[in-house]
Structure 1
Amino acid sequence: MNAADLALLLDEANHAPWESVRSALEGVEGQPHPRVGWLVSHLAQTKRDYWTKVAEAAGSPPPPDAAGLTRLMAWEVEQARRLTDAQLARSVTHAGEVFTVSQLLRLNARHTAWHAGQIAALAGRVRSA
């Protein structure tokens, strides 16, 4: 996949009107299930971890420390668009496995979509005391 394809994939997982983190979060009303907060925090941290590895391997900017999930999702789409084919082909190690930058970003998109589905499933559940 080239940079434009990866940026589109991340943009869809993050921001598409249906089946994305944004659309899942839009379905959360009232006092959300406690797991929703954990999932949002987990996604932000995981994206930061992925992009820190990308930055080290590709020589690209690291993720912004102070950005919450919404800003981080927009930032990563723009960063993915800027990666060259050579940067996408570089190797990075994640969880003891060697990936190319491109493969790690595809993992990021799958991971994002997975958790978007979990958030959507929890969106209608009321928090119980």
Structure 2
Amino acid sequence: MNILVFENEIQEVFDSFNDVNYLDFSNKLKFTFITKSQDFKEFRKLENYSLIFVDIDLSIRSEKDGFGLISDLNAHNQRSKIIILTGNDISDQLKHYELSDIPVLEKPVIHSELTELIKKMTNENNPSP
């Protein structure tokens, strides 16, 4: 399963994502990490990803913040795949941008929450034997 992760501080989430992959998904997950919005130009290939994690506070070197990136992803019909990553309370901003329906994973990432969210979003709760 391919998972796209927009995160400017990869070291903050890398170990959690790799641990979940190894311990809970038998290394069947393939993560692609992108640090700046302008580094991803393959919008036509979005259908290849099962999930898309978006850090709201992308680097100041990023042309767009997470909200701008989510807007682009929505324009390509990817809303149902998006999970927001954040270390801040963004509930008011989510309401303002009408994004309250998108799941939020708080940083620091907790292993069990990441596993549950991936399973829920990809219908992996009942993996085949």
Whether these two folds match at TM > 0.5 is no
Could you state the TM-score of these two structures normalised by the residue count of structure 2? 0.31
Q: Which has the higher helix share?
A: 1
Q: Which has the higher strand share?
A: 2
Could you state the TM-score of these two structures normalised by the residue count of structure 1? 0.31
